[in-house]
Amino acid sequence: MTERRGGSRAVWSEVDLEAIRENIRALRALVAPAEVLAVVKANGYGHGAAPVARAALDAGAAWLGVARVEEGVQLRGHGIDAPILLLSEAPVSAAEAVVTHSITPVVYTVPGLEALAKAVAAYGGRHRLSVHLKVDTGMHRVGCDPDDALDLVARIDASAELELAGVCTHLAVADDPADPYTAAQLAQFAGVLDALRARGDECGLVHAANSAAALASPDARFDLVRIGIAAYGVPPAPTFDDVIALRPALSLHARVMMVRELAAGERLSYGLRYELPHASRIATVSAGYADGVPRNLGLAGGHVII
């Protein structure tokens, strides 16, 4: 259990790293023989990137995934030497950091390829840098057009500094298993893979599945699944609650700072919106905006465990 407190304040979060391990083990068993990439972007979804990364690797994750170059650099700074996939193409200015810290980038533009190749050459060109081609099959955030995939792979193959180690895509609506858009994306992705293989290209690791697709779309698992929110014990949608047992890893704690008895009809806090229906014992908890508690929680309703 990793506990982090905000100085002298009586509010803190706790991260159960064993829950992370259990979730990764359960997901690995579900998606086998595909391997698991644990996504630890955004400081491990706020759970702490390095501790989560170590827990996921302990449980058998083969890869880690980050969104920004500096996130991969930070993991290397913590002594983590596992394969790290950069999920978006590196800015030209960060290409050198990708090379020097042995991060595997996804690529999808000619300028991106050229910047990485120059960085490898500048670093000494001792070995070729592995890259994964990201194909946009309908997510429309990042990735190359399917019609451009063969040309980009040809450029990679012709480069003395780069080598194709994987091909991937990203699914937009996998959290709704009934939506036919996922099948259409996978069909388009299969067409790109078939065209590459027909030309004699080795595609390396093939991956498309996020947490939702890993749970609901076995045909999307390929060689590797990218597990994000599910690693932290949160199903990607309520419809997945019965697919696999996941343990939430994060809990928020605060100390009770005052307890009082109030009569029926008294009103509480800003706006006095809540009226006590009967005489009640009221506990004030030391947690607020700065701790991520939204002001409208009082209107929406919620629970705490005392």
* Tens digit of each residue's pLDDT (9 = 90 or more) over 12-52: 989 999 999 999 999 999 999 999 999 999 999 999 999 99
pLDDT of residue 8: 66
Amino acid at position 27, single letter: L
Tokens for 274? 């809540």
Residue 2 pLDDT grade (very low, low, confident, very high; cuts 50, 70, 90): very low
Tokens for 100? 């020097």
The Cβ of residue 2 has, within 10 Å, a number of other Cβ atoms equal to: 14
Tokens for 12? 């803190």
pLDDT at position 3 over 60: no
Contacts of 64 (CB under 8 A, 6+ apart): 37, 38, 39, 40, 53, 56, 57, 75, 80, 82, 83, 84, 85
pLDDT of residue 57: 98
Estimate to the nearest angstrom the gap between the alpha carbon of 7 and the chain centroid: 29
pLDDT of residue 7: 54
SS3 186: helix
| Model confidence pLDDT, tens digit, residues 126-139 | 789 999 999 999 99
pLDDT-above-70 percentage for the chain = 97
**Which of 67, 63, 50, 55 shows the shortest CA–CA distance to 23?**
55
pLDDT at position 296 over 60: yes
What is the arithmetic mean of pLDDT over 43-66?
Answer: 98
Question: Greater confidence, 230 or 6?
Answer: 230
pLDDT of residue 291: 86
pLDDT of residue 162: 97
pLDDT-above-90 percentage for the chain = 83
Angle, CA 199 vertex, CA 62 and CA 169 arms, to 5°: 40
| Model confidence pLDDT, tens digit, residues 239-284 | 888 889 999 999 999 999 999 999 999 998 888 888 999 999 999 9
pLDDT at position 216 over 90: yes
pLDDT of residue 269: 85
pLDDT of residue 127: 85
pLDDT of residue 271: 85
Q: How far apart are CA 191 and CA 31, in angstroms?
A: 23
CB 227 within 8 A of CB 37: yes
What is the arithmetic mean of pLDDT over 284-306?
Answer: 85
Tokens for 63? 């890869």
Q: How far apart are CA 67 and CA 103, in angstroms?
A: 12
Q: How far apart are CA 191 and CA 208, in angstroms?
A: 14
H or E stretch including 134?
strand 129-134
| CATH number assigned to the domain with residue range 16-242, chosen from the 4 options 3.30.530.50, 3.40.50.720, 3.40.50.970, 3.20.20.10 | 3.20.20.10
3-state secondary structure 47-91: CCHHHHHHHHHHCCCCEEEECCHHHHHHHHHCCCCCCEEECCCCC
What does the mean pLDDT of the chain come to? 94
The Cβ of residue 79 has, within 10 Å, a number of other Cβ atoms equal to: 8
The Cβ of residue 234 has, within 10 Å, a number of other Cβ atoms equal to: 17
Residue 84 pLDDT grade (very low, low, confident, very high; cuts 50, 70, 90): very high
pLDDT of residue 83: 98
CB 99 within 8 A of CB 127: no
pLDDT of residue 168: 98
Q: Could you tell me where in the chain the CATH 3.20.20.10 domains are found?
A: 16-242
pLDDT at position 4 over 70: no
Alpha-carbon distances of 178 from 205, 218, 229, 266, rounded to whole Å: 27, 14, 20, 49
The residues annotated as belonging to the active site are 41, 270
